[in-house]
Amino acid sequence: MKCKCPECDGEITIPKDAVEGEIVTCPDCGLEYELTFDKDGKCNLKTAEVVGEDWGE
C-alpha cells in the first residue's frame, strides 16, 4: 500500500504487516507520521507526537 506524504506529496510505502499506531517516515522529507486505518482499511497519516521528556522505558 502507498500513501501520499501530507507535507511534501512524496510517496510513503506502507509495509504489509503495518499496525495501527506504527510510525512511518517519508523518504523524501523525513517527517514522521503515525499510521491509522479507516473502517474500510484505507490508511491515514497523522503527524507523529514529538518525543516527550517523560518518554522511555
Partner 1 sequence: MPKKLSIIYDRTRWEEKALIKAARRKRISTNLIDGKNICLNISGKYDSETYGDIILQRCISYFRGLHISAVLERKGLPVVNSFNTSLICGNKLFTSLALENAGVPTPKTYVTFTSEAALEALEKIGYPAVVKPVVGSWGRLVSPVRDRATAEAILEHREQMNNALLQIHYIQEMVERPPRDIRTIVVGDEVAVSVYRSAPAGAWRTNVALGATTIPCPTSSQLEDIVLRAARAVGGGVLAVDAMESPNGPVVHEVNSTIEFRGASTATGVNIASKIIDYVIKTSKK
Q: Tell the smallest beta-carbon distance from residue 31 to Zn ion (Å).
A: 5
Residue 54 phi/psi, 5-degree rounding, is -100, 15
As given in the structure block, the three cell numbers for residue 11 are 510517496
For the chain, give the longest Cα–Cα distance. Answer: 36
When binding is defined by CB under 8 A, the residue of 4, 23, 29, 42 that contacts partner 1 is: 23
Q: Tell the smallest beta-carbon distance from residue 22 to partner 1 (Å).
A: 4
**Interacting stretch for Zn ion, rule CB under 5 A, among 13-21, 23-31, 38-46, 48-56?**
23-31
CB 45 within 8 A of CB 24: yes
**Interface ranges with Zn ion (CB under 5 A):** 5, 7-8, 10, 26, 28-29
